[in-house]
Amino acid sequence: MTSANGFSDSQESDLVNEEDMKVLEKSIGCIPSYWIQNIIDDKIEENYDLEQQYLEENKPIKDEDEEQYYREIDSTPLPSRIPVKEEFPGRHNFQVSLGNQDSSKHWIYSQILKKVFINMEETLPLRLKWDPPEGGLLLRTAMVFSLDQYAGDPVRRCHNHTAPNNSSNRDVNLRVIKHVVRCTDSTSMYEERNEHLSVVTPLHRPQPGSQYVPVCFKFLCKNSCPSGMNRRPTELIFTLENSEKTVLGRRRLSVRVCSCPKRDKKKEEAEVLKTQSNVKKIKLNVPVGKKMMPSCDTHVFSVQLNVVGKENYLSVLKYAYDIMAGQAARTGQFEFFKPYMDDILRKTP
């Protein structure tokens, strides 16, 4: 049953117990209905305050270090799951170049392939330039598959290298372990969008006297790992962004993470050179049409002769026919000579 104040009898008894009610009735005889309502309202407000206090005290505590290390991305799906790879410098003339290769034996660059070959867990130094060199910008680095048939697949580390007992995973956030690419800048943030992984690094102005900003990366899985990249060619996509994540420029760099950079570089270059050589041979073996000889005199002359004897007359016609037939064969101008040769045949008795 519901009372006039909107609460059931059981709800009112929970708010004002029977003993309190009896004490009140005994002391003042009867209790007006609006008093009861005020008592109930006070109890409701007291219970609400206690509940809010409980929620505040038991509110989950965020790990500030973890939040700085890994930033969550909203779950709103993007228009496409395939990363854009087309290069453009943008209005800042965004440029990415390699550091001094002579200072390291663990990576090598191929001018023929425009590709870097590097050992796993070794540092790849890069140099970034943009003009004007303003601060407050971001560098987003993502590893993607080069072939179009795999463009929508995310690049992740293999099962072996993501194992908790792997030495490269010590004291590393669990959600960062699956990233193949890691930046040595401690302020970098690791993001995931539509299952694709990227690392975002805050950029500062170049140091006085310098034209570029150095950024270094490491790779924590090999291209040959079966359960990871599985021998599929990969490349890095660098995008220059502002604080609102608007893309201001984009660059790309082919990368292969392997055990022997020099050997793999030599092997891939040999394959490319062999393919180019085969293409040249095919072009040389393509059948070429018959060469046209230099054109002869094409002026047409009309000759009227009186020839004595039928045999002499036929000999003259045959001689004229043979001369033009020979020239047509040598020059390839059959269509030009054909009407005149047919005219000789018509005059032959």
Question: Annotation-wise, does 296 bind a ligand?
Answer: no
User: Are the C-beta atoms of residues 74 and 230 closer than 8 Å to each other?
Assistant: no
What order do you get walking across the sheet with 95-98 strand by strand? 95-98, 123-129, 213-219, 181-183
Question: Annotation-wise, does 30 bind a ligand?
Answer: no
Angle at alpha carbon of residue 242, lines to 174 and 220, rounded to 5°: 30
**CA 43 – CA 313 distance, rounded (Å):** 140
CA atoms within 13 A on the CB side of 239: 18
Question: Annotation-wise, does 221 bind a ligand?
Answer: yes
Contacts 24+ apart (CB under 8 A), 86-91: 86/250, 87/250, 87/251, 87/252, 88/249, 88/250, 89/249, 90/240, 90/247, 90/248, 90/249, 90/250, 91/248
Residue 12 corresponds to which tokens in the numbers above?
Answer: 């009112």
Burial of 223: CB neighbours in 10 Å, binned 0-12, 13-18, 19+: buried
Question: Annotation-wise, does 161 bind a ligand?
Answer: yes
- Strand boundaries in 10-122, DSSP class E: 95-98, 107-110, 115-119
Q: Which residues have CB under 8 Å from 239's CB, separation 6+?
A: 139, 140, 142, 247, 248, 249, 250
Binding residues for Zn(2+): 158, 161, 221, 225
* Residue ranges at the known binding site: 158, 161, 221, 225
